[in-house]
Structure 1
């Protein structure tokens, strides 16, 4: 593997829009491709300075701060450049909306939202490669790797903070489409069950319903019924990890091709129909655009494999 200089020593003055951002997150945008462990190391060793002083990784930037960024030698990734370029080029066609403040993307199934856990390249890294001149690009929220659909990415720190407030206040309306096993009762409008998150020794995250878990609620609406399956719209009132998937399982109607919480017999039937991915798709989002000062909505169409599955079931 060849190593190369990421850059020479340089000094960056913090713009007002970046005030409040943690130094470690700021360095991730400045030193693209540098492992997080190396970023923390150069901060702890004092190679990164703010106003000529040592700082901790959790330091929050202030407008006008002068940051010293050292040269960093990084081993090139083993990922073939052509693979990365292909991912980046493909993602351009998945952008649903873009203005000076945010991006709305129809995330493909199978793409992680960010690198990590053995993945060096995710959606946010691809977007940064796609928009190299964009100084600030951060995920507003997340989707599971196997879940497709609407995802918001902020272009301004102020917009990120505003949208995070909306998420905390539960004023962002996120709707998902899920194909579940069996006949979901028309009268069952919601599932309220506390969720507990565990990390296995392998590093895999598993979530289960547990009395000591965090309060969680998902609301449901039947969209289309089939012989042995139901297409439901799910609205997560809370935003827990794997919430919709676990609540569907708890209700006795696991989502099609869910490798963590699914039903093997049902999943095999779905695969026989050509479905080879989790049938969970974030199809619509509505929120208040802080710069347009209006509520906006965006929809992401189902990919062809999901549409074809529904056609075969009908």
Structure 2
């Protein structure tokens, strides 16, 4: 057995403290047993090896304060040696924080950084934030952004805040607006795409999402912010939260997001690379919601990175010159 692993060779019992109530037992165990494969977590749940108050439970059981959770012996990564994030990345993320209070952190996630580690990545935003805020023991992602997408990302600092924000998301109580750059011209300034999305896997193992009647209901509302020659700066409002939803729906319209190596046009992407586009032009610009115990809405805006602003400026200049 590797020194980087250890075995819990005895049953241990956890008492659920305030702040963890309402969380599903499977998610609680995945967070508690860091380094243990999710498949093993679900296996010990199915076998009844995990007990709550001495009784068998299902994976969707929601914890209550005072619950006694019996956890069987499992092999897991050594939690005393978490992956360390270098200081340069920590400083970058510290500067990206645009709001913080006792319940929430909002940051302008840079493009190219995943929201969490895994799949060959030693760390993501959440691991870095836990290193930046070691005293905040309940930091959790509220939602996700693709690795190449930048913009507003919510991180809860309390379990109670996480539950509230998830409820708001389920009831469309969080207004999320993205901006993207596409090539082409829509006849109308506003377009609603109601097209079900299905996760698929290609032969080479690459995961993609496709429009398919067997997929999950997916709705995106697009509007044009600015027409710039052959290009359009568009706004997308998510009415559902599916993987790659904006990217797939934009491609479904025949106008994929520029810089998209998965769903975009390779020739157009090469042309825009010569103009300075080195990433996906998709940015989570604003978030708006209201806490149930407050009257005022919370509104957050993440500015575009300078490289994207400079690209837009060059395109505007070119379009203006070609007009005369």
Shift of 1:65: 2.4
Shift of 1:62: 1.9
Correspondence for 1:168 among 163, 167, 170: 170
Q: Distance in 2 between matches of 1:260 and 1:60?
A: 37
Q: Distance in 2 between matches of 1:129 and 1:32?
A: 15
- What corresponds to 1:107 in structure 2? 109
Q: Distance in 1 between matches of 2:75 and 2:225?
A: 53
- What corresponds to 2:77 in structure 1? 74
Correspondence for 1:130 among 129, 132, 148: 132
Shift of 1:135: 2.3
CA separation of 1:192/1:154 partners in 2, compared to 1, >3 Å: closer, same or farther?
same
Shift of 1:119: 2.5
- What corresponds to 1:264 in structure 2? 266
User: Do the aligned residues in 2 keep the contact of 1:159 with 1:290 (CA within 8 Å)?
Assistant: no
Q: Distance in 2 between matches of 1:197 and 1:67?
A: 34
**Structure 1 portions without partners, runs of 5+:** none
Shift of 1:219: 1.5
Shift of 1:210: 2.3
Alignment of 1:44-123 (within 5 A): 58-67=60-69, 74=77, 81=84, 83-123=85-125
- What corresponds to 2:256 in structure 1? 254
Shift of 1:283: 0.3
Q: CA RMSD in A?
A: 3.2
Deviations 1:200-232 (CA, angstroms, capped at 9, x unpaired)? 355432122223333322212212222221111
Q: Distance in 2 between matches of 1:193 and 1:301?
A: 30
User: Do the aligned residues in 1 keep the contact of 2:33 with 2:76 (CA within 8 Å)?
Assistant: no
Q: Distance in 2 between matches of 1:309 and 1:14?
A: 51
- What corresponds to 1:3 in structure 2? 4
Range moving further from structure 2, 20-29 or 89-98: 20-29
- What corresponds to 1:207 in structure 2? 209
Q: Distance in 1 between matches of 2:205 and 2:78?
A: 25
Other structure's SS at 2:297 match: strand
Shift of 1:72: 6.3
- What corresponds to 1:192 in structure 2? 194
TM-score by length of 1: 0.85
Range moving further from structure 2, 50-59 or 270-279: 50-59
User: Do the aligned residues in 2 keep the contact of 1:21 with 1:61 (CA within 8 Å)?
Assistant: yes
User: Do the aligned residues in 2 keep the contact of 1:6 with 1:31 (CA within 8 Å)?
Assistant: no
TM-score by length of 2: 0.82
Deviations 1:1-42 (CA, angstroms, capped at 9, x unpaired)? 753769999765322321121334334444555554565677
Shift of 1:168: 1.7
Q: Distance in 2 between matches of 1:283 and 1:95?
A: 14
**Structure 2 portions without partners, runs of 5+:** 317-324
Q: Distance in 1 between matches of 2:103 and 2:262?
A: 36
Count, aligned residues:
313
- What corresponds to 1:178 in structure 2? 180
- What corresponds to 1:278 in structure 2? 280
Deviations 1:120-173 (CA, angstroms, capped at 9, x unpaired)? 322222222222221212222111111111111222222222222221222211
Other structure's SS at 2:314 match: helix
CA separation of 1:181/1:87 partners in 2, compared to 1, >3 Å: closer, same or farther?
same
- What corresponds to 1:302 in structure 2? 304
